[in-house]
Amino acid sequence: MSFHLQAINITLSLHLCTAISQRLRFLSSNFTPRVCCCGDSFSAGKVMENHDLSKVTVMGNPDLLQKKISEIRLAGPSKLQVIADFDATLTRYWINGSRGQSSHGLLQQENPNYDAKRQELYEYYHPLEFSPSIPIEEKTKLMEEWWGKTHALLIEGGLTYNAIRMSVANAFIAFREGVVELFEFLEEKDVPVVIFSAGLADIIEEVLRQKIHKSFKNVKIVSNQMVFNEEGRLVSFKGKTIHSLNKNEHALDMVSPLHDHLGDTDGPIDDSASMKKRTNVLLLGDHIGDLGMSDGLKYDSRISVGFLNDSIEKNLDVYRKAFDIVYLNDAPMWGVVKLVSQLCSSEVQ
Ligand SMILES: [Mg+2]
């Protein structure tokens, strides 16, 4: 099974406020919730006042979580890597009361008949994807069917890269608040972020380029990657299809192709060997299947964060047991920003 990883390099055009860096440095060195230093508008106390997530945060086993935080902090940032799902994890589930689009869903082909056909598939398969009553083996087969049919329609409809560019420009998609700050903090600490998605790599790259406008040398994408012909039309997909329930099968493959792209970046980047030495993992996902993203790594310690965006009552019990931390109601990324500041802190606690 071959698989391809893109090391992305996105053009920088966003100038982040230096105060954010100052705030993150403060958080990193000594994060103490509820401590407010008057006159310092970016103090930890202010951050917590502005981003109090206590009502949307669920921890199944706080003692175990604390133990993992201590272990990871002790090992240091050079041992840490972040593996994140994209759709509804880095991006928001709701935008102004409407469902945000996914990297698959935002795509508008030049032939609208094919958009309609893919929408029909979505309406049939999406409820099945989240149904708690379908056994996992059966659901996995259904997901294979859905992804296979969707990719076939993209090829049959002659998707062009220009259509991707235009689709992203018109897309109803947004990153969670705090994602840019999270990436920036991790970049400063030389902690790699692997975006591991069952969506489409070419679209994710374009979303990052258009919506964040910033290059992160530590961020890489592992996802379904398209192959275009000389006319710019989609002709095939590289490697085996990744869908929402088989990400674990690709976990090992996602590391090795890094060598192929070492020359493509303008900054230091971890190769597969050094990534394998990063034996502590922070995993971010919104789906139970996302937990498999770290299966191929022999990690010492893993903290898993789950975003439970919808059908909360029905799924909370399962999520609480599966993830170390669960954020409800489409919460922003500030809790994870705080967490990584703790994980990368050199303070003895
Ligand atoms: Mg997702």
The pLDDT tens digits of the residues spanning 298-333 come to: 899 999 999 999 889 999 999 999 999 999 999 999
Dihedral sign from CA coordinates of 218, 224, 230, 233 = negative
Percent over 70 (pLDDT), the chain: 78
Question: Ligand 1: distance of its center to the CA of 300 in Å?
Answer: 25
Question: Ligand 1: distance of its center to the CA of 217 in Å?
Answer: 23
**The predicted structure's pLDDT at residue 328:** 96
The whole-number average pLDDT for the span 172-187 is 96
Work out the mean pLDDT of the chain and round it to a whole number: 82
Tell me which of 40, 87, 266, 330 is the catalytic residue.
Answer: 87
Measure the CA–CA gap between 173 and 186, rounded to whole angstroms: 23
If one counts every other C-beta atom within 10 angstroms of the C-beta of residue 264, the result is 11
Evaluate if residue 30 carries a pLDDT over 80: no
Question: Ligand 1: distance of its center to the CA of 36 in Å?
Answer: 35
User: 31-35, 110-114, 262-266, 300-304 — which one is most confidently predicted on average?
Assistant: 300-304
- pLDDT by residue (tens digit) across 327-337? 999 999 999 99
Q: Is 87 a catalytic residue?
A: yes
Please provide residue 121's backbone torsions phi and psi, each rounded to the nearest 5 degrees: -65, -45
**The predicted structure's pLDDT at residue 247:** 82
Q: How confident is the model at residue 84 (pLDDT cuts 50, 70, 90)?
A: very high
DSSP state of 224: E
**The predicted structure's pLDDT at residue 296:** 78
**The predicted structure's pLDDT at residue 50:** 67
Question: Ligand 1: distance of its center to the CA of 193 in Å?
Answer: 16
The whole-number average pLDDT for the span 98-125 is 93
Of 217, 223, 221, residue with least CA distance to 11: 217
Q: How confident is the model at residue 255 (pLDDT cuts 50, 70, 90)?
A: low
Evaluate if residue 45 carries a pLDDT over 60: no
Evaluate if residue 16 carries a pLDDT over 90: no
The whole-number average pLDDT for the span 286-298 is 88
* DSSP per position, 245-276: T-GGGGTTTTTGGGGGGGGG-SS----HHHHH
Evaluate if residue 295 carries a pLDDT over 80: yes
Q: How confident is the model at residue 267 (pLDDT cuts 50, 70, 90)?
A: very low
Among 62-71, 253-262, 294-303, 334-343, the range scoring the smallest mean pLDDT is 253-262
Question: Ligand 1: distance of its center to the CA of 175 in Å?
Answer: 12
Among 29-38, 55-64, 228-237, the range scoring the smallest mean pLDDT is 29-38
Higher pLDDT, 102 or 244: 102
Q: Is 85 a catalytic residue?
A: yes
Evaluate if residue 78 carries a pLDDT over 80: yes
Evaluate if residue 2 carries a pLDDT over 60: no
The whole-number average pLDDT for the span 143-149 is 96
Question: Ligand 1: distance of its center to the CA of 19 in Å?
Answer: 31
Tell me which of 85, 270, 286, 290 is the catalytic residue.
Answer: 85
The whole-number average pLDDT for the span 234-250 is 86
Evaluate if residue 34 carries a pLDDT over 50: no
By the CB criterion, residues less than 5 angstroms from ion ligand 1 are: 85, 87-89, 286
Question: Ligand 1: distance of its center to the CA of 147 in Å?
Answer: 14
**The predicted structure's pLDDT at residue 52:** 85
Percent over 90 (pLDDT), the chain: 63
Collapsed DSSP state (helix, strand, coil) of residue 205: helix
**The predicted structure's pLDDT at residue 254:** 60
Question: Ligand 1: distance of its center to the CA of 20 in Å?
Answer: 27
Q: How buried is 268 (Cβ within 10 angstroms: 0-12 exposed, 13-18 middle, 19+ buried)?
A: exposed
Higher pLDDT, 28 or 269: 269
